[in-house]
Chains A and B, each alone.
Chain A
């Protein structure tokens, strides 16, 4: 480890080879672009985005963002590559954290930056070989820009415009890391592509940028997830994800994240879905101080389908304002939103969603289901649905249920010898089951474990 810098904030475990000075300026943006050896167009894009960020206002709806200290943030941190040679070299403090929270071994090693001799790299390389044969590209965004500048340039900022919102503009100016995925025509990728196998890049950054292009009739499932609360110690996470689903293609994008309870998690995720395409967002959010996240599908082609399945758990001091946007722009398009939220220990969760059916989207259908579980009288749940139907030939169904955790259910389970904590955990898992069963096995196990941890001490 040479030339590494240790941040003095609560990161503790992370070392970086370069840390940009705090605050945002043209010179910081130039420095980022320079260090990454980017093409000129990307530097110009970044600078234009910075300009927009400075001009734009924060959203006036939703949650309060006025406490963010914009000048107190490092906008670029370059991690030291492979700081530890083997798991044995990883400091005990870090290992203990991972063990205590029950992160699977492969993921722990990855998080600790262990490279060289361990399994996930082997898996990653063999995966890369198989994928390469089919012409599939799966790289970090930085690497993708280097190796496939044309594909990146052609699709960059096409789904989430540079000035879509203030946070998207910020990401556009200082983005780093994230994934770049290209699936050629007709190629079906059977195994989920998991961000954590991709160890040769910075993918757990604060301002990661992901671009997925699924060409005609292709199919892919991308999973980003990390269960460690040490995922990011930074105070602000502002990612942008763009997905392009071409004719007849299918993309599932699964997120399982657990943030430090100091993090503002403000993410713009959007997919453009062409005819007969299908986009599925599965989004599980735990942790963070404040999350605002509304994955969207622009259904631009006939019979395109958009799907959103989400879980939000808000505890003490946390606010999760999340939902989905489905914009129907072509005839016979369909969408479905299933939102499950849990508020406990004074936490606050809100569903905020929008379904728009434009005049040309005749015979389109949408179904929205919001289930909120409130665990105690101190917690709160709200629903803010907005439906705009501009054609007579369309239907939107909206169902919202708010339930309080049943006293009788708890007593029944306890009368079978389960502790109050075990009983509550079982009820919560049952509530989330419809979403959890859609997750890849190891993530379902992880999420269950996280929820179990989250529930500790919640019943007196």
Chain B
């Protein structure tokens, strides 16, 4: 029996006094792949941001969130990240003047990664760039600045590969991505949940569409509607959504 990496109980959340999540209960076991689906505004991104610790989201009521047997609410955003929680942002933020390479260096070291030589690290990053389908000249560009939507998603995947988190929440990683991109995402997810060595990564894939799930076999599907869990089940739920749409779950 796998142990739970994430247990969320009665999670209620508001943003600027507006309720966005209402008594969410969710349990996810280690190395499971969970699809989190729902219409726009159903609370999917809020869920990701709350787990990440975004200070704009206030947890209300007697909610509890346990991540890897830790009480998540006592940890700051950066402590959560260093504890192994990764969120690929739906809209990654750009920061001018901060080169990709220097950002990755600081990130890698902040998470306990060792950098023996800068050349070695640079080569490692180059390999990862190729892996996610970005070219070398990205190295000297500013963080996410002037990146296309697809490039931003690919760079989020690169960070995922470098960090090897315990739990990765990929927020609409499939939007603006072509077929090759979908294949890449599925390869990465399948490889990271069953690595050659070490612990695997657990995934929550936030998506609107079934098409990503044509490439990835999921263990569980959770559907949000109006900030609540509207349905839970296996991949058969995906077929149902295709047929009846999200409106049925309201």
A267 CB to closest chain B CB (Å) equals 27
Say if the beta carbon of A204 comes within 8 Å of chain B.
no
- Are B77 and A427 interface neighbours, CB within 8 A? no
Say if the beta carbon of A415 comes within 8 Å of chain B.
yes
- Are A409 and B81 interface neighbours, CB within 8 A? no
Say if the beta carbon of B159 comes within 8 Å of chain A.
yes
Say if the beta carbon of A411 comes within 8 Å of chain B.
yes
Q: Chain A contacts of B163 at CB under 8 A?
A: 416-417
Say if the beta carbon of B52 comes within 8 Å of chain A.
yes
CB-CB contacts below 8 Å: A383-421 with B: 406-409, 411-420
Q: Chain B contacts of A430 at CB under 8 A?
A: 95-98, 142-143
Q: Chain A contacts of B86 at CB under 8 A?
A: 415
Closest to A430 in B: B97
B92 CB to closest chain A CB (Å) equals 7
- Are B78 and A418 interface neighbours, CB within 8 A? yes
- Interface residue from B82, B93, B97, B111 paired with A412 (Cβ < 8 Å): B93
Say if the beta carbon of B40 comes within 8 Å of chain A.
no
- Are A417 and B52 interface neighbours, CB within 8 A? no
- Are A422 and B110 interface neighbours, CB within 8 A? yes
Distance in angstroms between the alpha carbons of A412 and B103 in the assembled complex? 12
Say if the beta carbon of B205 comes within 8 Å of chain A.
no
Q: Chain B contacts of A426 at CB under 8 A?
A: 95, 98, 102-103, 106
- Interface residue from A406, A418, A434 paired with B110 (Cβ < 8 Å): A418
Distance in angstroms between the alpha carbons of A406 and B103 in the assembled complex? 16
- Are B159 and A432 interface neighbours, CB within 8 A? no
- Interface residue from A416, A420, A431 paired with B97 (Cβ < 8 Å): A431
Chain B interface residue count, CB cutoff 8 Å, equals: 30
- Are A415 and B98 interface neighbours, CB within 8 A? no
Closest to B108 in A: A417
Q: Chain B contacts of A409 at CB under 8 A?
A: 93, 95
Say if the beta carbon of B87 comes within 8 Å of chain A.
yes
Say if the beta carbon of A105 comes within 8 Å of chain B.
no
B207 CB to closest chain A CB (Å) equals 20
Say if the beta carbon of B54 comes within 8 Å of chain A.
yes
- Are A434 and B111 interface neighbours, CB within 8 A? no
Q: Chain B contacts of A433 at CB under 8 A?
A: 96-98
Distance in angstroms between the alpha carbons of A430 and B101 in the assembled complex? 12
- Interface residue from A415, A420, A427 paired with B95 (Cβ < 8 Å): A427
- Are B81 and A412 interface neighbours, CB within 8 A? no
- Are A408 and B93 interface neighbours, CB within 8 A? yes
Say if the beta carbon of B121 comes within 8 Å of chain A.
no
Say if the beta carbon of A429 comes within 8 Å of chain B.
yes
Distance in angstroms between the alpha carbons of A423 and B102 in the assembled complex? 12
- Are B98 and A416 interface neighbours, CB within 8 A? no
- Are B97 and A419 interface neighbours, CB within 8 A? no
- Are B78 and A414 interface neighbours, CB within 8 A? yes
- Are B111 and A417 interface neighbours, CB within 8 A? yes
Closest to B80 in A: A415
Q: Chain B contacts of A412 at CB under 8 A?
A: 89, 92-93, 95
- Interface residue from B82, B95, B96, B143 paired with A417 (Cβ < 8 Å): B82
Distance in angstroms between the alpha carbons of A429 and B52 in the assembled complex? 25
CB-CB contacts below 8 Å: B52-78 with A: 52-56, 76-78
- Are B93 and A414 interface neighbours, CB within 8 A? no
Q: Chain A contacts of B52 at CB under 8 A?
A: 411, 415
* Given A414-B77, A414-B81, A415-B77; A422-B97 close (CB under 8 Å): no
- Are B54 and A411 interface neighbours, CB within 8 A? yes
- Interface residue from A407, A417, A427, A434 paired with B98 (Cβ < 8 Å): A427
Q: Chain B contacts of A431 at CB under 8 A?
A: 96-97
Q: Which residues of A contact B (CB under 8 A)?
A: 406-409, 411-420, 422-423, 426-427, 429-434
Q: Which residues of B contact A (CB under 8 A)?
A: 52-56, 76-78, 80-82, 86-87, 89, 92-93, 95-98, 102-103, 106-107, 110-111, 142-143, 159, 163
A-B contact pairs, 27 of them (CB 8 A): A406-B93, A409-B93, A412-B92, A412-B93, A413-B95, A414-B76, A414-B77, A414-B78, A415-B53, A415-B77, A415-B80, A415-B89, A416-B159, A417-B163, A418-B107, A422-B106, A422-B110, A423-B78, A426-B102, A426-B103, A429-B102, A430-B96, A430-B142, A431-B96, A431-B97, A433-B96, A434-B97
